[in-house]
Structure 1
Amino acid sequence: MTEPKPDFWYLIPHGYVPLDLNPPLEQIESLVRQVLSLPDEQRDRAERVLRFYTGIITSMNAQDVRVCLFGMHPDDQGDPTFSVVTFSTVQASGGHAKLVIAGMAGTAADSPEEGLRPLELPAGLGLLTEEMRSMPAPGPPPEGSDDPPVETVWQGTVALTCPGNSDILVLQMVTPAVDLADHYRDILIGVAHTVSFTDPSLPETAGDATDGDPEPGSVAAMVRSDFG
Structure 2
Amino acid sequence: MNDLLDMTGAEPKPVFWYGIPHGYRQVDLHPSREGLAEVARQIRELPGEARDCADQVFRLYAFVVMALQKQQVQGCALGMHPDNSGGPVLSVLTVSSVPMPGVSPKLVLTKLLADSPGNGPDDGLRPVELPAGVGFLSESVRITVAPGVPPEGQEEPRQEKTWQGMVAIPDARSSSVVVVQMVTASWELADDYRGVLLGTARTVTFTDPVSAQAERAPGAGAPGSAAAVMRSDFG
AA at the equivalent of 1:111: G
Alignment of 1:1-228 (within 5 A): 4-35=12-43, 37-40=46-49, 42=50, 45-92=53-100, 94-108=102-116, 111-113=118-120, 114-135=123-144, 137-140=146-149, 151-203=160-212, 210=219, 214=223, 224-228=231-235
CA pair 191-44 structure 1, distance change in 2 beyond 3 A: same
Aligned to 2:6: none
The amino acid across from 1:130 in the alignment is E
2:3 maps to none
Distance 1:31 1:223, change over 3 A: closer
Deviation at 1:69, TM superposition (A): 1.4
Take 2:132 and 2:25, find their aligned partners in 1: how far apart are those partners? Answer: 23
1:79 deviates by 1.7
**Matched positions, count:** 223
Deviation readout 1:19-52 (Å, 9 max, x if unpaired): 1112234444444454452452x45654553343
- The amino acid that maps onto 2:118 is S
Q: In the aligned structure 2, how far is the partner of 1:144 from the partner of 1:60?
A: 35
Cα distance between partner residues in 2 of 1:30 and 1:211 = 39
**What are the superposed Cα offsets for residues 84-113 of structure 1, whole Å, 9 maximum, x if unpaired?**
1111111226421111122223334x6224
| Distance change >3 Å, CA 34–CA 106, structure 1 → 2 | same
| CA–CA separation in structure 2 for the residues paired with 1:24 and 1:191 | 27
Secondary structure at the counterpart of residue 13 of structure 1: coil
Deviations 1:148-195 (A, max 9, x none): 765432110100111324001111111112121111110000010111
SS of 2:209's equivalent in the other structure is: coil
Q: Which residues of structure 1 form unaligned runs of 5+?
A: none
2 CA distance for matches of 1:195 and 1:28? Answer: 30
- Report the TM-score, using the length of structure 1 for normalisation: 0.78
* Gaps in structure 2 of 5+ consecutive residues: 1-9
| Structure-2-length-normalised TM-score | 0.76
**In structure 2, distance between residues paired with 1:190 and 1:79:** 24
Q: Calculate percent identity across the aligned residue pairs.
A: 45
Provide the secondary structure at the position in 1 that maps to 2:62: helix
1:104–1:127 Cα contact (<8 Å) kept? no
- C-alpha distance in structure 2 between counterparts of 1:142 and 1:174, whole Å: 24
